């Protein structure tokens, strides 16, 4: 898969405009770690691997426009000094004319690093929200599971969740009870994009082209 951050054509779905936005690509993914429950002979013929035998996976977030709302589903890895191939989300947004301050809602499908990493910039007391005008949403089961002190340290989420509290208003985390589970590896892989009763349940997915 390509690591290009060139804009992809948007899709209209009823009142929603869905715009994929790239955060870059994972270049060193061992396919056996993805399909660990399946025999190699079942998945190997269907994959294109790079010279090191790894699978290259595009990192794609989703921008949703509905009414006067601009919603970002997942925030990618964020900037990682030792991994320039990721952390490209804000550049991708800029190419379609969207600034961080234009986002009014951020929905995190589940708090793994490649989904929540770009929520903040900086570390420790210097950590700040990347999308300061947005209210942030995370499934209640994920909040309760990942916001304990032990999990915050173990998963490196201190700067992503510890400075937030479930509350109303911009720059705060909201929580929702999980009405449905998505195909992802987190307790509360659920998200709701508001707008005329339309619900979206995003999560991890692997696409072969």
pLDDT (tens digit, 9 = 90+) per residue, 64-122?
Answer: 999 999 999 999 999 888 888 999 999 999 999 999 999 999 998 888 888 999 998 88
Question: For residue 190, is it left (φ>0), alpha (ψ between -120 and 50) or beta?
Answer: beta
Q: What does the pLDDT read at residue 103?
A: 96
Q: Contact at 8 Å (CB) between 117 and 78?
A: yes
Q: Contact at 8 Å (CB) between 176 and 136?
A: no
**Distance, C-alpha 78 to centroid of its chain:** 10
Q: What does the pLDDT read at residue 162?
A: 56
Give the CATH fold of the 11-23+60-176 domain: Metallo-beta-lactamase; Chain A (3.60.15)
Q: Contact at 8 Å (CB) between 103 and 140?
A: no
Residues contacting 48, CB < 8 A, separation 6+: 55
CA distance 58 to 42: 22
Residue among 116, 99, 96 at smallest CA distance from 107 = 116
Q: What does the pLDDT read at residue 136?
A: 87
Q: What does the pLDDT read at residue 203?
A: 53
Partners of 26 in beta bridges? 57
Low-confidence ranges of the chain (pLDDT < 70): 1-6, 162-209
CA distance 91 to 3: 13
φ, ψ at 154 (rounded to 5°): -65, -40
- Which of helix, strand or coil describes residue 18? strand
Alpha-carbon distances, residue 166 vs 123, 175, 199 (angstroms): 21, 6, 21
- Which of helix, strand or coil describes residue 112? coil
Q: What does the pLDDT read at residue 1?
A: 34
């Amino acid at each position: 898969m390509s690591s290009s951050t060139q804009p992809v054509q948007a899709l209209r779905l009823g009142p929603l405009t869905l715009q994929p936005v790239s955060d870059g690509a994972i270049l060193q993914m061992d396919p056996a770690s993805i399909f660990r429950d399946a025999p190699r002979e079942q998945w190997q013929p269907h994959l294109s691997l790079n010279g090191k035998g790894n699978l290259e996976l595009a990192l794609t977030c989703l921008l949703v426009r509905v009414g006067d709302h601009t919603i970002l589903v997942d925030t990618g890895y964020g900037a990682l000094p030792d991994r320039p191939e990721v952390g490209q989300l804000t550049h991708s947004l800029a190419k379609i004319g969207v600034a961080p301050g234009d986002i009014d809602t951020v929905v995190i499908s589940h708090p793994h690093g490649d989904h929540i990493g770009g929520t903040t910039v900086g570390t420790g007391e210097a950590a700040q929200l990347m999308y300061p005008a947005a209210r942030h949403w995370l499934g209640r089961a994920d909040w309760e599971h990942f916001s304990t002190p032990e999990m915050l340290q173990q998963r490196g989420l201190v700067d992503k969740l510890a400075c937030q509290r479930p509350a109303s208003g911009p720059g705060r985390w909201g929580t929702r009870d999980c009405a449905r589970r998505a195909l992802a590896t987190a307790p509360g892989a659920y998200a709701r994009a508001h707008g005329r009763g339309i619900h979206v349940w995003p999560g991890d997915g692997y696409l072969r082209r």
